[in-house]
Chains A and B, each alone.
Chain A
Amino acid sequence: QVQLQESGPGLVKPSQTLSLTCTVSGGSINSGDYYWSWIRQHPGKGLEWIGYIHYSVNTNYNPSLKSRLSISVDTSKNHFSLKLSSVTAADTAVYYCASSWELPPGFDYWGQGTLVTVSS
Protein backbone atom coordinates (compact mmCIF):
# COMPACT_ATOMS: atom_id res chain seq x y z
CA GLN A 1 0.00 0.00 0.00
CA VAL A 2 1.55 3.27 -1.15
CA GLN A 3 1.53 6.09 1.37
CA LEU A 4 2.39 9.73 0.79
CA GLN A 5 3.42 12.25 3.43
CA GLU A 6 3.93 15.97 2.94
CA SER A 7 6.49 17.88 5.00
CA GLY A 8 7.72 21.45 5.14
CA PRO A 9 7.23 24.78 6.88
CA GLY A 10 3.70 25.73 7.84
CA LEU A 11 4.47 29.44 7.70
CA VAL A 12 6.17 31.30 4.88
CA LYS A 13 6.78 35.03 4.60
CA PRO A 14 5.48 36.98 1.60
CA SER A 15 7.90 37.12 -1.36
CA GLN A 16 9.78 34.05 -0.10
CA THR A 17 9.81 30.53 -1.55
CA LEU A 18 7.42 27.83 -0.36
CA SER A 19 9.16 24.44 -0.27
CA LEU A 20 7.41 21.15 0.39
CA THR A 21 8.47 17.53 0.12
CA CYS A 22 6.33 14.45 -0.40
CA THR A 23 7.86 11.22 0.85
CA VAL A 24 6.65 8.03 -0.79
CA SER A 25 6.55 4.81 1.24
CA GLY A 26 5.34 1.35 0.33
CA GLY A 27 6.59 1.72 -3.22
CA SER A 28 9.35 3.18 -5.34
CA ILE A 29 8.96 6.60 -6.89
CA ASN A 30 10.80 5.12 -9.87
CA SER A 31 8.43 2.24 -10.43
CA GLY A 32 5.79 2.07 -13.07
CA ASP A 33 4.18 4.80 -15.02
CA TYR A 34 3.05 6.93 -12.12
CA TYR A 35 2.46 10.67 -12.21
CA TRP A 36 3.42 12.52 -9.02
CA SER A 37 1.33 15.63 -8.46
CA TRP A 38 0.81 18.59 -6.18
CA ILE A 39 -2.69 19.91 -5.59
CA ARG A 40 -3.84 22.69 -3.29
CA GLN A 41 -7.06 23.71 -1.64
CA HIS A 42 -7.66 27.26 -0.47
CA PRO A 43 -9.55 27.46 2.84
CA GLY A 44 -13.15 26.44 2.30
CA LYS A 45 -12.67 26.24 -1.46
CA GLY A 46 -12.25 23.72 -4.24
CA LEU A 47 -9.19 21.90 -5.49
CA GLU A 48 -6.53 23.41 -7.74
CA TRP A 49 -4.00 21.30 -9.63
CA ILE A 50 -0.50 22.74 -9.28
CA GLY A 51 1.58 20.42 -11.43
CA TYR A 52 3.08 16.97 -11.83
CA ILE A 53 6.27 15.16 -12.63
CA HIS A 54 6.44 11.94 -14.63
CA TYR A 55 9.36 9.55 -15.14
CA SER A 56 11.41 11.81 -12.87
CA VAL A 57 12.06 14.42 -15.54
CA ASN A 58 8.89 15.27 -17.43
CA THR A 59 6.99 18.08 -15.76
CA ASN A 60 3.66 19.75 -16.47
CA TYR A 61 2.67 22.87 -14.58
CA ASN A 62 -0.54 24.84 -14.19
CA PRO A 63 -0.04 27.84 -16.51
CA SER A 64 -1.22 30.22 -13.78
CA LEU A 65 1.68 29.13 -11.55
CA LYS A 66 4.29 28.06 -14.10
CA SER A 67 6.53 31.12 -13.81
CA ARG A 68 6.98 30.55 -10.06
CA LEU A 69 6.93 26.78 -9.90
CA SER A 70 9.39 23.90 -9.84
CA ILE A 71 8.70 20.21 -9.16
CA SER A 72 11.52 17.70 -8.91
CA VAL A 73 12.21 14.12 -7.84
CA ASP A 74 14.97 12.76 -5.61
CA THR A 75 15.03 9.05 -6.33
CA SER A 76 17.66 8.38 -3.66
CA LYS A 77 15.27 9.67 -1.00
CA ASN A 78 12.12 8.37 -2.69
CA HIS A 79 10.49 11.76 -2.55
CA PHE A 80 9.40 14.58 -4.79
CA SER A 81 9.39 18.27 -4.04
CA LEU A 82 7.55 21.49 -4.76
CA LYS A 83 9.06 24.96 -4.83
CA LEU A 84 6.81 27.96 -5.34
CA SER A 85 8.58 31.32 -5.38
CA SER A 86 7.44 34.87 -4.66
CA VAL A 87 4.49 33.75 -2.57
CA THR A 88 1.65 36.02 -1.49
CA ALA A 89 -1.32 35.57 0.83
CA ALA A 90 -3.18 34.09 -2.15
CA ASP A 91 -0.90 31.05 -1.89
CA THR A 92 -2.20 30.22 1.59
CA ALA A 93 -3.78 26.79 1.23
CA VAL A 94 -3.68 23.15 2.20
CA TYR A 95 -1.16 21.50 -0.10
CA TYR A 96 -1.61 17.86 -1.04
CA CYS A 97 0.71 15.51 -2.86
CA ALA A 98 -0.96 12.75 -4.83
CA SER A 99 -0.14 9.98 -7.27
CA SER A 100 -1.98 8.77 -10.34
CA TRP A 101 -1.50 5.55 -12.27
CA GLU A 102 -2.56 7.19 -15.50
CA LEU A 103 -2.70 10.74 -16.85
CA PRO A 104 -4.36 12.84 -14.11
CA PRO A 105 -6.87 13.45 -12.62
CA GLY A 106 -7.19 9.84 -11.49
CA PHE A 107 -5.42 10.36 -8.17
CA ASP A 108 -5.45 7.08 -6.28
CA TYR A 109 -3.15 7.94 -3.38
CA TRP A 110 -3.05 11.21 -1.46
CA GLY A 111 -1.01 12.64 1.36
CA GLN A 112 -2.88 13.92 4.39
CA GLY A 113 -2.29 17.51 3.33
CA THR A 114 -0.33 20.29 4.99
CA LEU A 115 -1.54 23.82 5.65
CA VAL A 116 0.84 26.51 4.46
CA THR A 117 0.13 30.04 5.58
CA VAL A 118 1.78 33.02 3.89
CA SER A 119 2.10 35.81 6.40
CA SER A 120 4.69 38.16 7.78
Chain B
Amino acid sequence: QSVLTQPPSASGTPGQRVTISCSGSSSNIGTNFVYWYQQLPGTAPKLLIYRNNQRPSGVPDRFSGSKSGTSASLAISGLRSEDESVYFCASWDDSLSGPVFGGGTKLTVL
Protein backbone atom coordinates (compact mmCIF):
# COMPACT_ATOMS: atom_id res chain seq x y z
CA GLN B 1 0.00 0.00 0.00
CA SER B 2 1.70 3.17 -1.21
CA VAL B 3 1.47 6.42 0.74
CA LEU B 4 0.65 8.39 -2.43
CA THR B 5 -2.30 7.22 -4.51
CA GLN B 6 -2.18 6.95 -8.29
CA PRO B 7 -4.57 5.29 -10.73
CA PRO B 8 -3.08 1.95 -11.80
CA SER B 9 -3.59 2.65 -15.47
CA ALA B 10 -4.21 5.38 -18.03
CA SER B 11 -4.41 5.45 -21.79
CA GLY B 12 -4.53 7.77 -24.75
CA THR B 13 -4.08 7.91 -28.48
CA PRO B 14 -1.15 9.50 -30.31
CA GLY B 15 -1.34 13.28 -30.24
CA GLN B 16 -3.76 13.33 -27.34
CA ARG B 17 -3.22 14.99 -23.96
CA VAL B 18 -3.38 12.75 -20.91
CA THR B 19 -3.12 13.51 -17.22
CA ILE B 20 -2.06 11.26 -14.35
CA SER B 21 -3.14 12.14 -10.83
CA CYS B 22 -1.36 11.67 -7.53
CA SER B 23 -3.18 12.09 -4.24
CA GLY B 24 -1.52 12.54 -0.87
CA SER B 25 -2.06 14.30 2.43
CA SER B 26 -1.06 17.34 4.42
CA SER B 27 2.10 15.60 5.61
CA ASN B 28 3.47 15.08 2.11
CA ILE B 29 2.08 16.75 -1.03
CA GLY B 30 0.22 19.35 1.01
CA THR B 31 3.45 20.86 2.34
CA ASN B 32 6.25 19.54 0.16
CA PHE B 33 7.34 19.42 -3.44
CA VAL B 34 6.14 16.76 -5.87
CA TYR B 35 8.39 14.86 -8.25
CA TRP B 36 7.52 12.65 -11.22
CA TYR B 37 9.44 9.73 -12.70
CA GLN B 38 9.16 7.70 -15.88
CA GLN B 39 10.19 4.05 -15.75
CA LEU B 40 10.57 2.08 -18.95
CA PRO B 41 10.52 -1.74 -18.62
CA GLY B 42 13.70 -3.12 -17.14
CA THR B 43 15.26 0.28 -16.51
CA ALA B 44 15.75 2.63 -13.61
CA PRO B 45 13.30 5.48 -13.11
CA LYS B 46 14.11 8.77 -14.85
CA LEU B 47 13.33 12.14 -13.29
CA LEU B 48 10.73 13.99 -15.36
CA ILE B 49 9.51 16.76 -13.07
CA TYR B 50 10.99 18.22 -9.89
CA ARG B 51 9.70 20.82 -7.44
CA ASN B 52 6.11 20.42 -8.72
CA ASN B 53 6.57 21.80 -12.21
CA GLN B 54 10.25 22.07 -13.15
CA ARG B 55 11.74 20.00 -15.97
CA PRO B 56 15.34 18.75 -15.88
CA SER B 57 17.44 19.53 -18.89
CA GLY B 58 16.54 17.25 -21.78
CA VAL B 59 12.95 16.52 -20.75
CA PRO B 60 10.57 17.66 -23.51
CA ASP B 61 8.14 20.45 -22.69
CA ARG B 62 5.33 18.04 -23.58
CA PHE B 63 5.66 16.95 -19.96
CA SER B 64 4.30 19.29 -17.30
CA GLY B 65 3.48 19.06 -13.62
CA SER B 66 1.10 20.87 -11.33
CA LYS B 67 0.05 20.75 -7.70
CA SER B 68 -3.04 21.88 -5.85
CA GLY B 69 -3.56 21.25 -2.17
CA THR B 70 -2.82 17.61 -1.40
CA SER B 71 -2.95 16.45 -5.03
CA ALA B 72 -0.70 16.71 -8.04
CA SER B 73 -0.91 15.92 -11.72
CA LEU B 74 1.41 15.03 -14.55
CA ALA B 75 0.24 16.08 -18.00
CA ILE B 76 1.62 14.72 -21.24
CA SER B 77 0.61 16.52 -24.40
CA GLY B 78 1.16 15.39 -27.96
CA LEU B 79 1.23 11.78 -26.80
CA ARG B 80 3.76 9.54 -28.55
CA SER B 81 4.20 5.79 -28.62
CA GLU B 82 7.48 6.11 -26.76
CA ASP B 83 5.62 7.66 -23.82
CA GLU B 84 4.19 4.21 -23.04
CA SER B 85 5.71 3.60 -19.64
CA VAL B 86 5.03 3.52 -15.91
CA TYR B 87 4.91 6.90 -14.15
CA PHE B 88 5.54 7.42 -10.43
CA CYS B 89 4.94 10.45 -8.25
CA ALA B 90 6.99 11.15 -5.12
CA SER B 91 7.14 13.64 -2.29
CA TRP B 92 8.78 14.14 1.07
CA ASP B 93 6.63 13.00 3.99
CA ASP B 94 6.98 14.90 7.27
CA SER B 95 5.50 12.04 9.33
CA LEU B 96 7.90 9.47 7.89
CA SER B 97 10.74 12.00 7.71
CA GLY B 98 11.59 10.55 4.35
CA PRO B 99 10.44 10.38 0.74
CA VAL B 100 7.34 8.43 -0.30
CA PHE B 101 6.20 7.22 -3.69
CA GLY B 102 2.96 6.51 -5.49
CA GLY B 103 2.19 3.00 -6.65
CA GLY B 104 2.75 3.92 -10.29
CA THR B 105 0.48 4.42 -13.30
CA LYS B 106 0.97 2.35 -16.42
CA LEU B 107 0.31 4.52 -19.44
CA THR B 108 -0.74 2.76 -22.62
CA VAL B 109 -0.64 4.53 -25.98
CA LEU B 110 -3.42 2.99 -28.05
Binding site for B on A (CB under 8 A): 45-49, 51, 60-63, 96, 98, 103-108, 110-113
Contact = CB atoms under 8 A, between A and B. Distances in A.
B98 A108 contact: no
Given A107-B45, A111-B44, A46 B92 contact: no
Given A105-B92, A106-B35, A106-B50, A46 B44 contact: no
A103 B92 contact: yes
Contacts of B50: 106
A104 B98 contact: yes
Interface stretch (B10-18, B75-83, B101-109): B101-109
Contact of B96 (A62, A106, A113): A62
Contact of A46 (B91, B96, B99, B101): B101
Nearest to A111: B44
Among A61, A98, A104, chain B packs the most CB atoms within 10 A around the CB of A104
A110 B56 CA distance: 14
B20 interface: no
B51 interface: yes
Nearest to B34: A105
A101 to B, nearest CB: 9
A96 B2 contact: no
Contacts of B102: 46
B63 to A, nearest CB: 15
Among A51, A62, A106, A108, chain B packs the most CB atoms within 10 A around the CB of A106
A105 B45 contact: no
A113 B51 CA distance: 25
Contact of A105 (B35, B44, B103): B35
Given A46-B2, A46-B103, A106 B45 contact: no
Contacts of B99: 49, 104-105
B47 A106 contact: yes
B40 interface: no
A96 B45 CA distance: 10
